[in-house]
Structure 1
């Protein structure tokens, strides 16, 4: 197993809303929602190809994003939906996942962990929810064919295991802490499963300890201010952790965790740790191992990043020259993902830019 970095890396927290809000979906559930869109959106007959079968489903479009009737989509994909009128929550289950959606406040909880999702829209007694967000959350690949304007949905063949969230929390008047970490279950190799779970819990504990230590000086300073002036306005520090599973295919499991600490400034700082496991051994893979072991992998990645920077017209605050051979990474369905940390090459407004290097780039040597 490779050694992990032990230092806390302070990074600004941003979440790419554009990535989350593409191709948003709809539930045929009638509710009263004060946040519902005032504008009346036309219903469009959208061509779909779901599990290889062509069909047309009524959708709406908002700001370039597609919304669709949730029950129509769930019926096609084999997901199950349950609506609880008393709480105005929708529960969607399938493919070893459970998502709870609050229709009044557009809240989402996936396998026990709160996640950020697009705003719910209510129109003509129908609740509209995000297509890409929900589909990808449940392990479906979403594609779009320009010529036919067809949206494709296909189940990704995943490793047979479940991933749920456990939490470490502490809340008081002086500071707040809540960290979620992944727990694997149902995997065929119990020893490997235990090995990965033990490692991920240890990593969460490590960051909780580091974050708590960062908050301690602020707590001390706040308490000193309150001792002098009980009515003094202070900002309570907080530490939060969330994880995202990005790849669970072909005997590999990849995910990253964002640990966000707020110390009273303009915004939180975040440390991102990415992990890719070989499910045959439970060991972490290095970047070189993940891309096939070729000696020119750094050059290939550098070329791809430079091209994507130019294509996206990404403004840099420092010139990009090369990645480190042991650069942090994670896997997606489409390729190896390299990311810039906050303020490394871009401003805070750019967040953590991601660069997907297609797997094919490493086989064309």
Structure 2
């Protein structure tokens, strides 16, 4: 199936997210099939646990101001939360679907499913990509920030108290629905968002039309690229019958990153593979003013005349702090640079190969909102 080919191809694109190749799917079934129990006895759960052993750390958290301690795993810069803690402290429901081979977490009007065989997640039907869960000692651990932000929670860290702070975000009164289309081409697998249930139907229609037109144009360009790639591969195969030519693919996916305070922000990743070692992705951010339905410029989102200087200083600092290796010097963002918003701040990102090697993915730099005041 095309989705399966996309999942395999996109593994390269999301390598910078450190997708784990832990064989956990059979263990998930053993762990979750019987009423969602997360600590089954028996050898089946033990057999398919992660090859590496991780330290289980009791981590202080606050959930909307209430204190708790939860078991977490720290691995390669990510924090993984014990799945049981989601039910005990956030009231989220968990389940295992043996037919789909997927673990699900449900709450706040949405369901996030993880397919451990591929590392693919779905939020309702919106396809996402993230780190695989970790199974250890019969307990399942999932990426904390990735999961909670998709379910409408803000996640921050208080350095002084070393506490993870989780808060329920007061979201704008609208729903996100997903349009899935192949654009009339068998090698296209694209998804893009539309909004429903917003009181101002004129604004809603304006936003939906913008997203529809933008994605239809991107898909049309993807189909053109596919035609060129398939022609080139066919000629290569004719001249070299012994060569196995790869299957070309074009896909689009999206992530809603901010739905607060009268603004809606998201990004779409447009992926093309036509042969070679790996494909390429172009990311596009979209931030809308829910009063007007208009796209906000970077300056409008920042709300500061010196926004370019502020962003440059923050990006330079974060490059230095992380030791990010650059293949081209970073000097300044463009005044109309692409961006998106999150609960924590305004995010500037580098496209693939723009300043860094492919293995770095798309580095992101969060500029706290307080920086612009």
Distance 2:37 2:315 in 1: 43
Q: Pick from 223, 238, 248 the counterpart of residue 234 of structure 2.
A: 223
Change (3 A) 1:16 1:141: farther
* Counterpart residue number, 1:188: 199
Alignment check: 8 A CA contact 2:19 2:131 kept: no
Match for residue 109 of structure 1 among 85, 107, 122: 122
Q: Mark the CA change 1:143 to 1:166 in structure 2 (over 3 Å): closer, same or farther.
A: same
Q: Does the 8 Å contact 1:317/1:346 carry over to 2?
A: yes
Answer 1 or 2: higher relative contact order, Cα 8 Å, separation at least 6: 1
Question: Residue in 2 aligned with 1:211?
Answer: 222
Question: Which of 269, 280, 290 is the matching residue for 1:269?
Answer: 280
2:17 alignment counterpart: 17
Relative to its length, the structure with more helix (as a share) is: 2
Q: In structure 1, which of residues 327, 336, 355 is the aligned counterpart of residue 346 of structure 2?
A: 336
Distance in 2, Cα, partners of 1:145 & 1:323: 29
- Quote the residue 2:268 is aligned against: 257
What secondary structure sits across from 2:182 in the alignment? strand
Q: Is the 8 A contact 1:256 1:330 kept in 2?
A: yes
Which residue of structure 2 aligns with residue 6 of structure 1?
A: none
Checking the alignment, whether the CA contact within 8 Å between 1:59 and 1:66 is kept in structure 2 is yes
Aligned partners of 2:48 and 2:367: how far apart in 1? Answer: 39
Partner of 1:283, secondary structure, is coil
CA separation in 2, counterparts of 1:319 and 1:72? 44
Equivalent residue number for residue 157 of structure 2: 144
The answer to whether structure 1 residue 296 and structure 2 residue 269 are counterparts is no
Given that residues 170 and 176 in structure 1 are in contact (C-alpha distance below 8 angstroms), is that contact kept between their aligned partners in structure 2?
no
Paired residues in the alignment total 344
Residues 62 and 272 (structure 1), Cα distance of their counterparts in 2 relative to 1, 3 Å cut: closer
Aligned to 2:294: 283
The more displaced of 280-289 and 47-56 is: 47-56
Task: Quote the Cα distance in structure 1 between the aligned partners of 2:258 and 2:309.
Answer: 24
Aligned-pair distance for 1:114? 2.2
Displacement after TM superposition at 1:49 (Å) = 1.6
Could you tell me which residue of structure 2 aligns to residue 23 of structure 1? none
Identify unmatched segments of 5+ residues in structure 1: 1-11, 21-25
Report the TM-score when normalising by structure 2. Answer: 0.82
- TM-score, normalisation: structure 1: 0.83
Q: Is contact 1:122-1:128 (8 Å) kept? A: yes
SS at 1:284's partner residue? Answer: coil
Structure 2 residues not aligned, in runs of 5+: 1-11, 21-30
Q: Give runs of ≥4 in structure 1 deviating > 6 Å.
A: none
Indicate the residue corresponding to 2:84 in structure 1.
71
Partner of 2:136: 123
CA contact (8 A) 2:107 2:151 kept: yes
Partner-residue secondary structure (3-state), 1:219: helix
2:373 pairs with 1:360: no
Q: Residues 35 and 118 of structure 1: is their aligned pair in 2 closer, same or farther, counting only changes over 3 Å?
A: farther
How far, CA to CA, are the matches of 2:200 and 2:270 in structure 1? Answer: 29
Per-residue deviation, 1:120: 2.6
Aligned to 2:110: 97
Structure 1, 85-94 or 212-221: larger mean CA deviation: 85-94
Whole-angstrom distance in 2 between the partners of 1:344 and 1:67: 31
Question: What is the CA-CA distance between 1:148 and the residue it aligns to?
Answer: 4.1
CA distance in 2, matches of 1:60, 1:316: 30
Aligned equivalent of 1:346, options 331, 353, 356: 356
CA contact (8 A) 1:35 1:104 kept: no
Paired with 2:121 and 2:165, the residues of 1 have a C-alpha distance of 24
Summarize deviations over 1:42-68 as a string: whole Å, max 9, x none.
654433221211123344555665444
How far has the Cα of 1:30 moved from its partner?
Answer: 6.2
